[in-house]
Structure 1
């Protein structure tokens, strides 16, 4: 059973993983999801004003993941938490937002925010401030999947960064808690325009990442959750010997560092960590999807690309809405020294993009 300490995996293994990912996708075309694209978003949006943006993001992340492949899960989770609360507007990146201090987001990795700001600096230094932090985060999430062995899918771009904060408790209302049952999961996804297949596919992101004891202790104490396989229960009790124990374990015991379909095999063996994971197999409405994804990795990859594209379009700001932040962690109005130059360059870039 892998724990948080497992992320010190030898660089040799990680390098092999990344090289294998690159080679496996080198001769494949990116998956382009067959979904309706929100007005204002487009494939190749930065073709004229920052054509190298995807290369810049992918190149830097390759360096990051060669040092610590665990950061891929952190960026993927950051993107999901951003999109489900007030849409994909980069609001989760704002230091002053209540979104950052509410319980569901307290476990977001500090390194993810640092990586995002470094990516923004790299992109803006090459192109000027014409690419939004929300678009950079969308690309970072896609590359986190790609570099851990998952599908390489095209993402429509053109999002603008938000200038408003979510209302108090909105994270609790919108995000799926680890103890949620399938009915709640389906309901919350439906609010965002996604269906049960999307919910199962996006849950498959748990094929990478870790979970802390506090997020699944109710399945261990005072007694074993009957939907948890007994040997798996015994392993988790060793990781978390007491209800308030501060430790972590991998969400996918079979391939914790690789984005694949074995997470769904875990569920079929009743070895899902979260209630929200395991209940997808227990609930007859989603069990068939879990079984299909466990049997067919390509189907999972295709469905995941569709679901990510749909999630990445939730309540986005485009056109003249929002802004292009000069720093990902603050609105331009809170960073007045850079505001004038950002507005001028952003206007020039937008005008050029309309030609």
Structure 2
């Protein structure tokens, strides 16, 4: 686990996250939402998340990525977690090879053992993403709750919703802007690319037929070995944080941008605009300020098009609606 922040840093992170919530359209989310209905909810999520990441350090990034994909498609309603069924014949998960579904089910089961039918899968995913930052990044912050689970999931909703690894900076800014997120949020959240793993299919467009000139030559050579042209779509260790640890969430990502040692076009393009390049420099220079920005942006993202009150439902299991249809 990365070293924890000091008390002063923790207060800064809390302030940023609180400010971010106030800036979202979903003021109905509340901090400590389960204080009365399930006081041990967040503790149960945290303990289960910590245990899972301790057993497999790559899972921290997987939880954050699941949360990102969930919020960008239909809002943060756990639609990404639904399995195929009669009412959802083509769920989102069929379109993208994400990891962590079974792990989220494990966390949900831990919460259900404490408070059956109280905590939504959408909140479980939000809390797990927050706790992944604690375990893998060494900083923590409050995440509001009160999200409800959606009833529908359609892979067609993904197209045009999820920013792609080949996007240029203005496309990325537009994609995030459509969800109510700013360029600052885009750059701060891109720091999540400092940890986790990826697949050759996302890397090879920068290698063939010729290497992208903005890609560091040494990194390009290593990627060609890992992802030969026409070869199998293997898994690639995240070189964005190879200087330290590919399973640590940190601001090393922004330092690597300066030397072209990042995997995706959507990473390197952040240096192509004067405005975002300045944000990259600021995040590279001040790790605590980046932590605060990341925390605030993650909370803000967690408020995208949420279901609250009597909307949706609280699923008993994350892979199926309560009707089971």
Same fold (TM over 0.5): yes
Deviations 1:3-36 (A, max 9, x none): xxxxxxxxxxxxxx2xx54x54678446241121
Asked which structure has the greater RCO (Cα within 8 Å, sep 6+), the reply is: 2
**1:239–1:249: 8 Å Cα contact kept in structure 2?**
no
Give the match's secondary structure for 1:238.
helix
C-alpha distance in 2 between matches for 1:232 and 1:273:
9
Give a deviation string over 1:141-168, Cα, whole Å, max 9, x none.
01111101242010110000001234x5
C-alpha separation in 2, matches of 1:150 and 1:201: 16
Name the structure 1 match of 2:110. Answer: 122
**Counterparts of 1:41 and 1:232, CA distance in 2:** 43
The whole-number CA distance in structure 1 between the counterparts of 2:264 and 2:189 is 14
Match status 1:206 vs 2:193: yes
Partners in 2 of 1:191 and 1:120 — Cα distance?
30
TM-score when normalising by structure 1: 0.83
Match of 1:252 in 2: 241
Structure 1: which 4+ aligned runs deviate by more than 6 Å?
none
| Greater Cα radius of gyration, structure 1 or 2 | 1
User: Which residue number corresponds to residue 100 of structure 1?
Assistant: 92
SS at match of 2:43: helix
User: Which of 137, 145, 150 is the aligned partner of 1:162?
Assistant: 150
1:91: which partner in 2?
79
Per-residue CA deviation, residues 182-238 of structure 1 (Å, 9 max, x unaligned), is 111111100000110100111110111112111020110111101112122112112
Q: 2:39, 2:288 → 1: CA distance?
A: 30
Paired position in structure 2 for 1:182: 169
Secondary structure of 2:159's match? helix
Q: How does 1:168-317 map to 2 (within 5 A)?
A: 168-247=155-234, 248-250=236-238, 251-255=240-244, 256-317=246-307
Report the alpha carbon displacement of residue 71 of structure 1 after superposing the two structures with TM.
0.9
Q: Helix, strand or coil for the counterpart of 1:88?
A: coil
SS in 1 for 2:52: helix
User: Where do 5+ consecutive residues of structure 1 fail to align?
Assistant: 1-16, 336-355
Q: Is the 8 A contact 1:160 1:322 kept in 2?
A: yes
> Which residue matches 1:81?
69
3-state SS, counterpart of residue 135 of structure 1: helix
CA shift, 1:180, in A, is 1.1
Q: Which has the higher helix share?
A: 1
Counting matched residue pairs gives 311
Query: Structure 2: how far apart are the matches of 1:308 and 1:243?
Result: 37
Q: 1:317 to 1:175 in 2, by over 3 A?
A: same
Q: Please, what is the CA RMSD of the aligned residues?
A: 1.7
